[in-house]
Structure 1
């Protein structure tokens, strides 16, 4: 009791202090200077929350979106009529329970929609807007779709496929997957045991009669079993992506074999509700064994299962190009009759090992006559589209995309990508970076003839067919790499018709009748808002939401210049440039490095790095020039920029920063002695590489949540760029900052969350130990005990950016120029 009483006194004493951590914001005047405390507050409380997750109601009468204009702890669902005659209204929890979910699957005529809600399946009639509940069970049903040419609804329960017939209400189980090995036969296989069994049956009538009864029961059960799906034993495999073929004869499925003994890193969480340190199970590290996948085919007519073979895929046996760097040089020839020569000849004749493949699909044509698969190698260097004949288990090559680095890009990704059938049920459409930019293609499944539907030095960033299947709806950056517009394109290709016109980015959702567009739009210094417009070129956009606060609007947020930097290899590199209204000759400058690697930030819309954007406005107020570069590896610029970091992170992505620094000093009057650099995640990695390998260029750097050694990062990201560490040690050695730590000269600040499950806190601890052993003194580490990779708490953001500002003010300005550090 005494401890409880003391705890109560402590909490009571702390209450006033706790209440003071979130003061009521005071509106700033139009020219009030920015401070770190001001810009790093909870965005919902002073900046406002933009609408997100926009979708149309199925009847087209309302647009739904997530929003938080009342500054609650989390966003809520809102609705607004596209006419804009009434203000947006919050959708109550009661209304949401009966509202069809966003997503789901439509039938071919867009007459019905099937969807999942809370683990049950529902069917919506789009004409009457009536909803039928398909399942109502304690078990969870998922993956609803239409099957048998839209006659039935299919779904998955407990890793098995079921169908439901809307006409009869009948539910049928289509598969019977079971975990574990197939049960052993009750009959003995050993010779001695078989002899003993025969002796027992011959000697004892009771035993013989009971055995005959058992066999009769088994025959009866087998007869009944013929009316049910075949029991398929999975062993240690998992099953996913269950599909019923349109004619009902085949069930296809993906089998996954998890690797054994994969060691997972644990991340300790120190500040917990329990008062005890709690371990978070995180992830494996690059190079760990990965899940192996196969495509299974269950032929219901033959009651037989198959696993698809793919050994004939073109290029599957090719050795990745980088492996040639590790091949041993040829040795002097030896006598032809020697044992060594024979062994060498045998080794040479041996077929190379086939790379592992993951299948995606199948994707069936609307008439159910054809199917295709997307197949990718585990190393992501090859992607094939192949026709599939499930009756013969044969595949036919339709297209191959190969990249010595790795296959990715808009509409391609790491899975199936953006693919489908054209209305003629003969041609397959897909996206490919074949020309260096992601574009739209069609290939004839019978003749193999391929056609480019779009072309040019720009990217198709999203593509879908209109509901009448006559027009493509595309999002592309055809006007400028830093703009995203909505386009129409005829079904068979032709001239792009631009629909949106404002500079910036447009995220478009088309109404069910195709006449109206819900547009989430933003510009560089204007956060995202919801607009509506007619689906016609140049139609007027009408604003439906107003999200920003008067306090945020009172400041004249800068519209940075979009410039190009001529890199040392001749490439054009895009960047945002922030300049003071009255630059000081030989003044200071800071280069910001965005994270993620494959991400775009030198664009004309509101950045996901909005805190950094506001911080750059603060730096400009204090006399800094700021450069924000879309370095090699960034998104939005095509394949060559995307793969420009292959096998050498810290190569061209770093020299792009150096070329930007040179431009600042040569053209914009910045002092070469007053350059700083900072960034988070990948940006933190580049900052470390800059401070360690270019110590005479940057005087100060802030590396936030940084990768310090790529051999300790995850497999999915790192393996694509650097391959496996045990196969490409050269790439890891030259790409990891920890190997260059001895080069540090300038002032280095490192900040890291202690519960970071992406870039583990262990990363920065290992680098700190390295710096200690190297006897480096000009560095500091700030840790954040409750933060993961992306910070959440305003107090953490504020502390971090006060330290960054202090770092630059202290090291990039003479004593007489330093302002209020940390304000």
Structure 2
């Protein structure tokens, strides 16, 4: 039967409903991207009569958000699974406090006393082999929790930083301090240094004479000869003592002068380590300073800022396998990785050379390759088997086109490729989790190779790969249970804007849905693996904590009620999630649509409208959960109260819809997205009785960039636009984000000129507000200054600027939020009504 997905919205959550209609066949996966709009009978569009203006006063919706409530953050299970712990923002302060709530207790829990914080800080702790002990760091010191009784033992009390805790195969606990690795015997506290890394050349007994004069001085003067002999004897004696006496710490491993340690991983048997080193690169831009004009000193103070992508140089990691018994290090070269020397930018360089009247000659040469950065404590980039017999490492090409998972052949001292993920655009920085299956020679990993992030298992004995999940949905937050036979994960299987929790057997089989809350749901498996700790939100409900048995078709129990009564009492409008058909690609443009409470699709007078453009580029906002753009949600509520229709779209490039949607902006940022903006404005006119001659837009950061691109390249599409903290020239933005999408300016200036609004400023015809924070160390204030100068030189008239002297990229002061959004509101009132 053909299935049509509808999403009904309530004040608590969105519920997915599937209705049968028509003849023909369509799979459940295909129904995910239905292009039919949702009907008013399915989705409520308001809460009754039109509310009075005072429901959403600007002074309140832009005030300190404490009035909404202080919601639980970073929730985790207590050691025994009988309580949950979470952070809450302190009222009137950015500080967070830890709370604990028993599953059978009422209320929102009790704040953990400062004196007891160390006993509850095990959220990211590591387990020993039988999971009887959990080790963790609190305020630089190591603690061990006994899982059987909750007893906590403090192992260190000092001020040295400690990281990379792991239990070794022999039961000892290892940790890192600086570039030294230690192993501690928990039975007696005996601690030994097992690896010391030194970023300098190995010492020599006698340095060679620097020049002919030094050689003559040694040959001529007996005193110099005696001193050299004494130094040589001391050195040789120390070397002999180091080798002969087991009571001494092992000799350092010397990595060479002028390098820095990028990654280190010690084997569980403490006999080997993988070490990646690189040439130091400062994050600061050369000569770049950001002046602060409002300071406590009353004087202008300068702050260093990050380098720009135009100044970035390739970063390469040299990878070593270190034998801890001998101190010998073997370089693991990348030449065994498929594509390690491909000219993956060949077509890009040919196009750019041709534009300059030159001919590009392609050649194969080693690419810069790095150990994949760790984006979370749960996603390791170097993973050992529990017995230390094998290791897998994830590597990424600096040009962003390849990701490899490789194992190490210890006998041959070389990398063995196990999986290559190549992308003509760029490799995603999400969906890179991988690890070993216990007691087997198999790896599991996430990959976007099918367009969506899915779960795979590879048997290294026969190279057979099994895909455990498939379909038009994303798999993330993977947890393998202790037995190693079941994967738990989060996925947006029912609808791109609804994330639920699922499980699937490691051996393969049906994917089983465990939660059915609608909205956005993340999870943590309980210590006994019988329950799920859920953090769930909906459009009208900020994140709250729930608990549910780890079984399908059971109800979740809500534990926290932190939303304020004042927020709940407001008559917030209920947006639809609408799949707006695209005129350029098969998949629709999912959008949230807000209409006035007394909306009349047939009335003679058409409605003015506002289109909100989310920031970050790769971010999902037209989903069924609580949005990080909560101020914008409240501002949209005010706009509907004043008779506007509001649409908030997930344009191409947004997260949540798969690889093809994400990479549609490759080398052409601002063009597919503006095409999507044209489509949603047209849809508003055809389906929501909007006057397309009275539509405005606004957005911050990437949204500010797209505001420029739409006003400059599609004049008349929007009668007014507000660009907040906007990017105007991508060559001035950071490397990590920009080089993914546009390569480097040195390789692809065509893409930068094509994608940077400053090159299209002559197209401005409509009203423009530029809102620029002056101490923004993400998108520099200079971006706005340069564009303003360009507009002045072009003799443009219909623009204005608003500067915010003390604000960073994300505003902090309520007075700044209020001022900014009053200006946006006035812009729309003046130009759309």
Question: What's 2:328 paired with?
Answer: 304
Q: Which residue of 2 aligns with 1:317?
A: 341
Question: Cα RMSD over matched residues?
Answer: 2.4
**Would the aligned equivalents of 1:595 and 1:682 in 2 still touch at CA under 8 Å?**
yes
C-alpha deviations, 1:201-235, integer Å up to 9, x for none? 6xxxx987776655443332111222543331541
Does residue 371 of structure 1 match 2:388?
no
Contact (CA 8 Å) 2:72, 2:545: kept in 1 or not?
A: yes
Structure of greater relative contact order (alpha carbons < 8 Å, 6+ residues apart):
2
Match of 2:264 among 225, 238, 242: 242
Distance 2:759 2:229 in 1: 75
1:477 aligns to what SS in structure 2?
A: strand
SS in 2 for 1:509: strand
Give the match for residue 524 of structure 1.
539
Deviates more, 1:446-455 or 1:600-609: 446-455
1:565 touches 1:573 (CA, 8 Å); kept in 2? Answer: yes
Pairing 1:57-68 to 2, within 5 Å after superposition = 57-68=78-89
Distance in 1 (CA, whole Å) between partners of 2:640 and 2:400 is 43
1:254 maps to which of 273, 276, 285: 276
Aligned residues: 758
Q: Secondary structure at 2:679's aligned position in 1?
A: helix
Taking structure 1 as reference, are residues 71 and 532 closer, same or farther at Cα in structure 2, changes over 3 Å only? farther
Unaligned 5+ segments in structure 2 are 1-50, 373-380
How many angstroms apart in 2 are the aligned matches of 1:462 and 1:187? Answer: 54
Give the alignment partner of residue 98 of structure 2, picking from 74, 77, 80: 77
Q: Look up the match of 2:560.
A: 545
Return the alpha-carbon distance in structure 2 between the equivalents of residues 215 and 799 of structure 1. 73
TM-score (norm 1): 0.88
Cα deviation code 1:787-815 (max 9, x no counterpart) = 100111111111111111100010001xx
Instruction: Tell me the secondary structure at the aligned position of residue 335 of structure 2.
Output: coil
User: Is 31-40 or 685-694 further displaced after alignment?
Assistant: 31-40
> 1:480 aligned to 2:504?
no
Separation (CA, whole Å) in 2 of partners of 1:705 and 1:327: 30
Question: Are 2:582 and 2:679, in contact at CA under 8 Å, matched by a contact in 1?
Answer: yes
Match status 1:425 vs 2:436: no
Asked if 1:606 corresponds to 2:630, the answer is: no
**Alignment match, 1:292:** 316
User: 2-side partners of 1:237 and 1:329: how far apart?
Assistant: 38
What corresponds to 2:470 in structure 1?
A: 455
Q: Distance in 1 between matches of 2:717 and 2:110?
A: 54
Contact 1:365/1:425 (CA < 8 Å) preserved in 2?
no
User: Secondary structure of the equivalent of 2:542?
Assistant: strand
Residues 168 and 33 (structure 1), Cα distance of their counterparts in 2 relative to 1, 3 Å cut: closer
Unaligned ranges ≥5, structure 1:
1-28, 331-343, 413-417, 814-823
When structure 1 is superposed on structure 2, of 307-316 and 719-728 the one drifting more is 307-316
Q: Which moved more, 1:292-301 or 1:741-750?
A: 292-301
Report the more deviating stretch, 595-604 or 403-412: 403-412
Q: Deviations along 1:487-538, whole A, 9 cap, x unmatched?
A: 1211222211111112211121221111222211111122221222222212
What secondary structure sits across from 1:388 in the alignment? strand
Deviations 1:97-120 (A, max 9, x none): 333332021123211112111112
> Which residue in 2 is equivalent to 1:225?
242
Contact kept, 8 Å, 1:32 with 1:555, in 2: the verdict is no
Deviations 1:613-652 (A, max 9, x none): 1111111111111111100000100000010110001111
**Of 376, 381, 403, which aligns to 1:383?**
403
CA drift of 1:396 comes to 1.4
1:464 and 2:485 aligned: no
Whole-Å Cα distance in 2 between the matches of residues 576 and 428 of structure 1? 39
Whether 1:442 and 2:457 are equivalent positions in the alignment is yes
**Are positions 1:807 and 2:827 aligned together?**
yes
User: Aligned pair 1:771/2:771, yes or no?
Assistant: no
Contact persistence 2:336–2:416 (CA under 8 A): no
Post-superposition offset of 1:47: 1.2
- Give distance in 1, aligned partners of 2:170 and 2:796: 69
Could you tell me how far 1:329 is from its partner in structure 2?
7.3
Structure 2 counterpart of 1:574, from 581, 590, 595: 590
Partner of 1:651: 671
SS in 2 for 1:174: strand
After TM superposition, the structure 1 = structure 2 runs for residues 735-754 of structure 1, keeping only pairs within 5 Å, are 735-754=755-774
Contact 1:107 1:113 in 2 (8 A): yes
Rounded to whole Å, the distance in 1 between the matches of 2:214 and 2:748 is 55
Query: Displacement, 1:410?
Result: 4.0
Distance 1:691-1:477 versus aligned 2 partners, 3 A rule: same
Task: Please tell me whether the aligned partners of residues 613 and 649 of structure 2 are also in contact (alpha carbons under 8 angstroms).
Answer: yes
Quickly say closer, same or farther: Cα 1:30–1:767, change in 2 above 3 A.
closer
- The alignment partner of 1:464 has SS state of strand
C-alpha contact 1:595 1:681 (8 A) present in aligned 2: yes
Mapped to 1, the partners of 2:159 and 2:812 lie a distance apart of 35
1:710 paired with 2:730, answer yes
SS at structure 1 position matched to 2:295: coil
Q: Which residue of 2 aligns with 1:40?
A: 62
The alignment's TM-score, normalised by the length of structure 2, stands at: 0.87
Instruction: Indicate the SS of the match to 2:784.
Output: helix
1:115 aligned onto 2:111: no
Deviation at 1:72, TM superposition (A): 5.6
Tell me the CA shift for residue 443 of structure 1. 1.1
Query: In the alignment, which of 502, 507, 512 is matched to residue 492 of structure 1?
Result: 507
Alpha-carbon distance, 1:387 to partner: 1.5
CA contact (8 A) 1:121 1:142 kept: no
CA distance in structure 1 between the partners assigned to 2:325 and 2:561 by the alignment: 60
1:612-631 residue pairs with structure 2 within 5 A? 612-631=632-651
- Bigger drift between 622-631 and 171-180 goes to 171-180
1:434-461 deviation per Cα after TM superposition (whole angstroms, max 9, x unaligned): 1100000011223222110111111002
Aligned counterparts of 2:441 and 2:52: Cα–Cα separation in 1? 62
The 1:233/1:476 distance shift into structure 2, 3 A limit, reads closer
2-structure distance, mates of 1:312, 1:264: 40
User: Which residues of 2 match residues 674-823 of structure 1 at below 5 A?
Assistant: 674-813=694-833
Q: 1:220–1:593: structure 2 CA closer, same or farther, 3 Å change rule?
A: same
Is this contact kept in 2: 1:706–1:764, CA < 8 A?
yes
Query: Which of 132, 136, 145 is the matching residue for 2:153?
Result: 132
SS at match of 2:543: strand
1:144 aligned to 2:177? Answer: no
Tell me, in whole angstroms, the C-alpha distance in 1 between the residues paired with 2:798 and 2:225. 89
- Between the aligned partners of 1:262 and 1:424, the Cα distance in structure 2 is 48
How far is the alpha carbon of 1:557 from its aligned partner?
A: 1.1
Residue of structure 2 in register with 1:276 after alignment:
299
Larger Rg: 1
| Cα deviation 1:369-404 (Å, max 9, x = unaligned) | 221111110011101111212342212121110000
